[in-house]
Chain A
Amino acid sequence: MAEIFYNGRRVDGRRPNEIRRVDCQFGSGYSDGIVFLHQGNTKVIASVVGPHAPRVKGDGTPDGATITCQFTKPPFASTSGERRKLSSKDRSANDFATAIEEIFSCVIRTEKYPMSQIDIFLEVIQSDGSEFACAVNATTLALTDAGIEMDCLVSAATVGLWGSHVFADLCRFEENPRISQLTVVCLPNVHLLSGVNTEEQIGQWKSQPQILHTRLSSWLPVERLQPLITEAVKVAQTLQKEFSYWLRGRVRSGFITR
């Protein structure tokens, strides 16, 4: 294997703080929101159906919508060439699906859709590192493309700690046991997006908790974990800014009816 970090460059040619190229394709089909998200060579299709009436009678809750998620990975998804059939009882996929259900139960304004159900279908077409983060980002874009009300755009990023260097947006070669990996799902600092801000609001927003979910691959002491979380939140907010550009551009390119 090539060197992971050599002469200021990573194994795929990036600097430590560079993320891979993001490309979003918004589809139109029978689902309410379809997004094909590329983060480098990691490709995830997220489709959202809903809010709709529950298919099983008596399944809805009167105080909000029920969110279900299905995470699948075809056998050809891995870029390493390994072909492994994913069964329905796979622990990793079910763990990802449950985590995404919990994350978006906090973010979606479920009280707007009582007795309803929102189905999220995720399919990893190609996996080249940062799989869970890419799935969360695709789900966010698909939900807001389907017109479902959310408090904020959720963004997720995976960072790795290699010695004293922090790698942003890991690829497949950097996801190995020698690098401590941290995935963070967080909300953005929304005061950066608009110009309406004052001094106390900046201080207030910076003090509010923003991290919804973390996944840490190995044990780390606190003094090394804190800068890792800080860098992960920065990378996630950069991605969130990029996604807001995509969404705003999509709204503006539509036909203006009035």
Chain B
Amino acid sequence: MYPAIAAPERHSVDYVSQGQPEGPSIQQGSAVVPGEIVFSSVASLITGHGTYRSVDASSTNIGEDLSSAVNPDTLASVNGDPGIQAGNIHTSLTGRVRIVNKLVYVEPPKARYFGNVGDTVVGRIVEVEQRRWRVDVNSALLANLALANVKLPGGELRRKSEDDERAMRSFMKEGDLIVAEVHEVYKDGTLQLHMPGTRTGKLGGGCLLRIPPSLIKRQKIHRHRLAIPRMDTLDGPITISNEVISVGLILGCNGYIWTGPARAMDIGLGLSAPVEADLNTANESELLAERIAVCRVRNCILALTHNGMPVWETSVLTACEASWSADQQNDDDDDEYQLEFETSINNDSSGSKSRNRIARLLHPEVARRLVTLVQAKLKSDY
């Protein structure tokens, strides 16, 4: 029998040295854990998301009533009950404390989407019920999309009838991706979606990512069209050309990010004809170049997310430009490439290594270096 040995050293961030508690007071941006008292019971603040007040059960006896009656300067109780005093403000989430005027709430780094009216969300249809669709939007409950809130194909404006109810699966069926807006948030947390205007609708072929909703910056426009430099092959020589490929990007506030060809983003909106009809006009090299550009955007977003960087249009575009510049630089210095990164794929029978320029963005070292470049560029721009 051997005695139990200690756990081996881990190559992880030393969280313990950074996790010291705060000083005697909680301020804006302090890191808190659940159960911590951030303010005492005399603070006249409103508890928000992630905070709660504990009810003091010991203050309901007669002595407390007499002492509060004798002392007229005692603060009036929040509940209006003379016997029950408001307790301390505790936190119930791990995150950072935010204090806005008299509201105190906690921002968790990773949570599910809880819904705001007017947010653009990307969702996937999981069920078709009578007169409504059930949509998964990465929230605590499924969202509802009523038949009365969607646009008809062709854009005609009329009331929905029973024929439309029977034809609901021809509009959108299970598994389809949609982009919609939050119309209403019910009391139990259910979201009611709607599709106003021409910016919402069904999405065509593309790529769906799921990241924490706190990493998406809140902006006015969540539907972007990026100009990505064209690259014809993954492992061949890079031909320098000024051609760009238009890639659509929809940053949903719920953490779902859709990226795909801008053609699919435009055609899908408004429940128009299927996207496959237009594929006949494009040839194979065009489709391959388009797909490589979409995959570059996807891998850049994953690199930003894994390193804790927020995702918005400028950061995604800067990351794509940085990865494009790194591709050209690595082509010139072949020895430096093989020395620094070992993500090359041995495909040729002669032993020479081929490089997948898109897949290597998922390597942790390459991703960290890319995020460092993006942060430096954004800092110099601002």
Pair B7/A40 contact, Cβ less than 8 Å: yes
> Is A109 part of the binding interface, using a Cβ–Cβ cutoff of 8 Å?
yes
Given A246-B19, A255-B309, decide whether A128 and B4 contact each other with a Cβ distance below 8 A: yes
* Interface set, chain A 131-188, CB cutoff 8 A to B: 144-153, 171-173, 187-188
* Cα-based distance from A197 to B39 in the complex (angstroms): 10
* Cα-based distance from A248 to B33 in the complex (angstroms): 7
Pair B310/A62 contact, Cβ less than 8 Å: no
Q: How far is the CB of A150 from chain B (nearest CB, A)?
A: 5
With a cutoff of 8 Å between Cβ atoms, the chain B residues found around residue A59 in the complex are none
Q: How far is the CB of B305 from chain A (nearest CB, A)?
A: 8
> Is A250 part of the binding interface, using a Cβ–Cβ cutoff of 8 Å?
yes
With a cutoff of 8 Å between Cβ atoms, the chain B residues found around residue A115 in the complex are 141, 188-189
Stretch at the interface among B109-117, B220-228, B329-337: B109-117
With a cutoff of 8 Å between Cβ atoms, the chain B residues found around residue A249 in the complex are 13-19
Given A173-B3, A246-B19, A249-B13, decide whether A146 and B35 contact each other with a Cβ distance below 8 A: no
Interface residues on A, range: 35 or more
* Cα-based distance from A204 to B57 in the complex (angstroms): 10
Pair A190/B90 contact, Cβ less than 8 Å: yes
Pair B188/A62 contact, Cβ less than 8 Å: yes
> Is A113 part of the binding interface, using a Cβ–Cβ cutoff of 8 Å?
yes
> Is A242 part of the binding interface, using a Cβ–Cβ cutoff of 8 Å?
yes
Pair A188/B35 contact, Cβ less than 8 Å: yes
With a cutoff of 8 Å between Cβ atoms, the chain B residues found around residue A150 in the complex are 34-35, 92-93
With a cutoff of 8 Å between Cβ atoms, the chain B residues found around residue A24 in the complex are 15
Pair B7/A21 contact, Cβ less than 8 Å: yes
> Is B70 part of the binding interface, using a Cβ–Cβ cutoff of 8 Å?
no
With a cutoff of 8 Å between Cβ atoms, the chain B residues found around residue A149 in the complex are 34, 50, 92-93
* Cα-based distance from A250 to B96 in the complex (angstroms): 11
Select A109's contact among B16, B18, B92, beta carbons within 8 Å.
B92
With a cutoff of 8 Å between Cβ atoms, the chain A residues found around residue B26 in the complex are 194, 196
Q: How far is the CB of B217 from chain A (nearest CB, A)?
A: 7
Q: How far is the CB of A8 from chain B (nearest CB, A)?
A: 15
Given A114-B189, A246-B15, A247-B19, decide whether A20 and B94 contact each other with a Cβ distance below 8 A: no
Pair B306/A28 contact, Cβ less than 8 Å: yes
Given A109-B92, A115-B188, A145-B110, decide whether A195 and B25 contact each other with a Cβ distance below 8 A: yes
Pair A196/B39 contact, Cβ less than 8 Å: yes
Q: How far is the CB of B61 from chain A (nearest CB, A)?
A: 12
The chain B residue with its CB closest to the CB of A2 is B1
> Is A222 part of the binding interface, using a Cβ–Cβ cutoff of 8 Å?
no
Pair A144/B15 contact, Cβ less than 8 Å: no
* Cα-based distance from A115 to B187 in the complex (angstroms): 12
> Is A116 part of the binding interface, using a Cβ–Cβ cutoff of 8 Å?
yes
The chain B residue with its CB closest to the CB of A241 is B21
Pair A251/B94 contact, Cβ less than 8 Å: yes
> Is A70 part of the binding interface, using a Cβ–Cβ cutoff of 8 Å?
no
* Interface set, chain B 22-39, CB cutoff 8 A to A: 22-26, 29, 31-39
With a cutoff of 8 Å between Cβ atoms, the chain A residues found around residue B93 in the complex are 144, 147, 149-150
Q: How far is the CB of B375 from chain A (nearest CB, A)?
A: 9
Mark each residue of chain A from 18 to 53: 1 if its CB lies under 8 Å from any CB of chain B, else 0: 001101110010101100001011000000001111
Select A40's contact among B4, B96, B142, beta carbons within 8 Å.
B4
* Cα-based distance from A152 to B12 in the complex (angstroms): 26
> Is A253 part of the binding interface, using a Cβ–Cβ cutoff of 8 Å?
yes
* Interface set, chain B 84-102, CB cutoff 8 A to A: 88, 90, 92-96
> Is B66 part of the binding interface, using a Cβ–Cβ cutoff of 8 Å?
no
* Cα-based distance from A198 to B56 in the complex (angstroms): 14
Q: How far is the CB of B141 from chain A (nearest CB, A)?
A: 5
With a cutoff of 8 Å between Cβ atoms, the chain B residues found around residue A25 in the complex are 10, 12
Pair B4/A79 contact, Cβ less than 8 Å: yes
With a cutoff of 8 Å between Cβ atoms, the chain B residues found around residue A13 in the complex are 3
Mark each residue of chain A from 198 to 217: 1 if its CB lies under 8 Å from any CB of chain B, else 0: 10010010000000000000
Interface pairs (7), CB distance under 8 Å:
A12-B3, A24-B15, A51-B140, A115-B188, A116-B189, A246-B16, A251-B96
What 4 pairs across the A-B complex have the smallest Cβ distances?
Answer: A147-B111, A249-B15, A245-B19, A152-B35
Chain B residues with a Cβ under 8 A of chain A:
1, 3-7, 10, 12-26, 29, 31-40, 50, 52, 56, 58, 88, 90, 92-96, 108-112, 136, 140-142, 188-189, 210, 217, 306-310
Further 9 A-B residue pairs, CB within 8 A, beyond A21-B7, A115-B141, A193-B35: A53-B140, A116-B140, A149-B50, A150-B93, A187-B35, A195-B24, A247-B31, A248-B15, A248-B19
